A and B are shown apart, each in its own frame.
Chain A
Amino acid sequence: MASGKELEVIKGSKVLMVGAGGIGCELLKTLALSGFEDIHIIDMDTIEVSNLNRQFLFRQSHVGQSKARVAREAVLKFRPHINITAYHANVKDPDFNVDFFKQFNVVLNGLDNLDARRHVNRLCLAADVPLVESGTTGFLGQVTVHIKGKTECYECQPKPAPKTYPVCTITSTPSKFVHCIVWAKDLLFAKLFGDRNQDNDLNVLSTDANDLSKQTEDVFERRSDEDLDQYGRRIYDHVFGYNIEMALANEETWKNRNRPKPIYIEDVFSQKQAKQNGIADQNCGSENSGISAMSSLGLKNPQDVWSLFENTRVFLEALKLFFEKREKEVGSVTFDKDDQLAVEFVTAAANIRAASFGIPLHSLFESKGIAGNIVHAVATTNAIIAGLIVIEAIKVLQNDADNYRMTYCVEHPLKKMLLMPVEPFEPNKSCYVCSETPLSLEVNTNHSKLRDFVEKVVKKKLGMNCPLIMVGSTLLYEVGDDLDEAMVANYEANLEKVLAELPVPVASGTMVSVEDLQQELTCTINIKHREEFDEDEPDEMVLVGWSQPVATEKEDKSVSNGGEGTSDAAGKLKTNDNLDETEIVPTSEIVSVVGSKRKLSELSNTDVKEVISTVSSVHSSAHQMEEINDDEDDVVMLDENPEQAKKKR
């Protein structure tokens, strides 16, 4: 199509793309083919092998290089005369400030994490630049349009909560394989190979009846007289044997649960076998990009589910290899899904724990997916979503506001549709981001410190990067490069003070102003003192008026498996890496329609069920749907489930 006028608008526009991954590669290609001539693209990531099945601008030889730069080069090959500016950088860098954003006619997001999405949303609002936002998981995807004052902003609706689990489920009463993975990854792996001094809920103390002097010894410390085999076997016995015995001693816990079975190394693996572990083909480890317990043990297929015996071998071998071959890193290793040895260790440890608790064992392939929060991704969905982004971007450039649509790409047709357009919703009048509505915070002002407030509320919940905190005209805290030493010291001191004892006391009724200079976002928070908090409020702070993430399952505390969540096609929750190369569906925009005036229509039960089964794959909870029965223009709309509305405050 591209009528003359349309092409003129396209050619004259300057667009910013954030993300050069799965959606980004497709988007850059489609923009270039559509006639865009001035495209800027930001991505901090480098290319990995697992990107190549869909990020078609990249080749094996590009692994390790900047996505933004390689994508630029690849597109210039078929459209040599257009301008593409690549930034191998984090969009949160201070260089990308409001002035930077102001130079663009539209911003197009192909991002993979909630943090960056929120950040870009705020900059677009501050710069008053339209934003087209997108996300995909498997066959599901969506494109939304955010125009300041006209449509809802990205943060008008609650986003899904990060998947977290109660500490005791992880440490004592796992019932699903994912609990074993979280234990293996966040507790055991972190303790053995990460920062020893960090808080960790793993029981590290042993009460050896024969040797009371060693009662408080940290069993994870390797003894001077111990070789790696002995050390591995001792750790094994401690975490899979001794710790289970300890847990079993608490009869109350097991009244309504299956009792776990302690597993000791001697039961699975004799000392003699241990000595031979991994000797078989020690030298074939070169192929698989480095050190691997699987290759030194001759295990080939990552899809196989290993027996307890095999898991035990992998556990001991991986532990040994870490200390033998990667000794320098020990103490600072963090789990990475692309670290083969780390995935092997976590798989084995999770499986041994699963065996103890009667939970089915899983393959390395499956374990890697769970531990790495790997989001399903295929090329086709990304291509479709990128096409839809370009269609919306062209409408935005032409100011064709009546025709803006959010579009959902679904796996099972809904009302005959695989691509389902929905009219954008109006801004949520109580959104603290785009409407600057005051928030209120319930907090024990005699107990919580300014540091808690900064970390748990300002950064974690409000998503601010460089906050500045004021009461009246007094600055309590700020960050920045241009602060003098005295100020820094003053702010540091403030961080350690409880709210009520700050230079300007923060108490019930105090209005605290929180500002992020980069995002140009200011929030006013009304403080309410509260003495007691429940167990399910572990932060001891309750922020009201802030869009509470939607918890998809009941378990929602304390130990989280990675970044922010998204639901997969089966409605099971998966979580997502912050720096993963995959994309997530930012879900739940569709869940509720707060500022909209549309009324719920009468729906049959089948309709509701159909919608729930189809769309709940993209979104976490039930909602209702309205179809305007107009021949030319039937637009499907989803409205908030009354039940859910009640749950929200």
Chain B
Amino acid sequence: MDEEELTAQETALYDRQIRVWGVDAQRRLSKSHVLVSGMSGTIAEFCKNIVLAGVGRLTLMDDRVFSEQSLLANFLIPPDASEHCGRSLAEICCDSLKEFNLMVRVSVEKGDLSSFDAEFFDKFDVVVIAGCSLTIKKAINEKCRKRPKRIAFYAVDCRDSCGEIFVDLQSYTYLKQKGEDTFEHNMQYPSLVDSIAVPWRSLPRKATKLYFAMRVIERFEVAQSLRPGETSAADIPSVLELKKELCKVQSVNESHIPDRLLERLLTHPREHPAVCAIIGGILGQEVIKAISCKGDPLKNFFYFDAADGKGIIEAIADYVSS
């Protein structure tokens, strides 16, 4: 570990959080480089959290241009369109984020994430993607897994008042605290491909229904070549049909995935700002844990639904046959 000391400025600014996670963790944070793709409301929340926490560098990717839609749950985008003439969402958000913490280097990378080769990812410690299709999620996850260094991978998706986080830390070792003792603890994470390949009937009956509902919708979107969230109420009949099929193939009862839940997710694909804050907060915390190697990281899915208020960890990883 580098013995560099934090500057007086850093100590003063980060005083309250150093009291939570310690100087070593703060030092590791300040040396980390995070990539995010897809400037959704949840990602805006996440970026705010890690910029405040003091990561070293943050790279933003999103070439889309300003639209009324883009600012609905995103407080990093000023609403006056005339200010943005032709600039990308990543560039607009970059300007706002820089102001939050002058010690963090925030920058923009242009291009289509899925077109970058695997070496591109080597400069990052953490990759977070949002609003990506299942195909892209899988591809990026595989690229991250094939690199010589460990790159933590997160995929996040918020629809209606629900949110999902997928985590892949590959082989992750950290200092686990149990009572007074701390000891080295290793956790193995499966890829997204292997995780979602787990047969549904082998998962516990009480596994959250959101997990299954999200799998149905992502398959539907791939089949229809839709971007995540481009669904509408008109898709309900076809999605319910797909659900029926999948339940049959997976030999689980159709009640596993309530129709009402699917209807909610399809009809209101927009993000709910309160849910963005919650998912962005949990995601921020997980990334801080992964970088600082401090605290138990979640494995390997997280769900929040404002309808029941529960924030649940689903360890689908535990059912992946090796």
Contact = CB atoms under 8 A, between A and B. Distances in A.
Contact of A53 (B17, B102, B298): B17
B249 interface: no
Interface stretch (B7-15, B192-200, B239-247): B7-15
Contacts of A79: 79
Interface in A404-427: 405, 407, 409, 411-413, 416-421
Interface stretch (A165-173, A213-221, A384-392, A436-444): A384-392
A177 B253 CA distance: 61
A59 B309 CA distance: 33
Residue of A1, A2, A388, A391 ringed by the most chain B CB atoms within 10 A: A1
B82 to A, nearest CB: 13
A139 B20 contact: yes
Nearest to A301: B5
Contacts of A587: none
Interface stretch (B58-66, B133-141, B211-219, B266-274): B266-274
Contacts of A53: 13-17, 52-54
Interface stretch (A200-208, A260-268, A369-377, A472-480): A369-377
A421 B16 contact: no
Given A50-B16, A378-B16, A1 B161 contact: yes
B75 A78 contact: yes
Contacts of B5: 301, 303
B278 A378 contact: no
B49 to A, nearest CB: 5
Interface stretch (B117-125, B149-157, B225-233, B311-319): B311-319
A641 interface: no
Interface string B62-82: 000000000111011111000
A374 B273 contact: no
Contact of B285 (A2, A60, A302, A380): A380
B54 to A, nearest CB: 7
B268 A387 contact: no
Contact of A387 (B75, B78, B278): B278
B277 A386 contact: yes
A33 interface: yes
A394 B310 CA distance: 17
A87 interface: no
B273 A30 contact: yes
B2 interface: no
Interface stretch (B32-40, B182-190, B300-308): B300-308
Given A54-B16, A376-B19, A2 B272 contact: yes
A26 B44 CA distance: 13
Nearest to A49: B12
Contacts of B16: 50, 53-54, 374-378, 582
A198 interface: no
Given A49-B12, A377-B20, A380-B288, A418 B302 contact: yes
B57 interface: no
Contacts of A390: 273-274, 277
A379 interface: yes
A77 B80 CA distance: 10
B272 A54 contact: no
Contacts of B275: 387
A418 B313 contact: yes
Given A50-B13, A78-B77, A391 B296 contact: no
Contact of B296 (A29, A376, A412): A412
A419 B309 contact: yes
B100 interface: yes
Contact of B278 (A50, A54, A419): A419
Contact of A139 (B23, B71, B285): B285
B314 to A, nearest CB: 7
A3 interface: yes
B99 interface: yes
B75 A29 contact: yes
B306 A33 contact: no
15 contacts: A30-B274, A33-B72, A33-B73, A50-B15, A52-B101, A53-B14, A59-B99, A302-B11, A303-B11, A303-B23, A378-B17, A379-B281, A380-B285, A386-B274, A416-B312
Given A34-B274, A418-B312, 8 more contacts: A78-B77, A378-B21, A379-B17, A384-B277, A384-B281, A387-B273, A405-B309, A418-B302
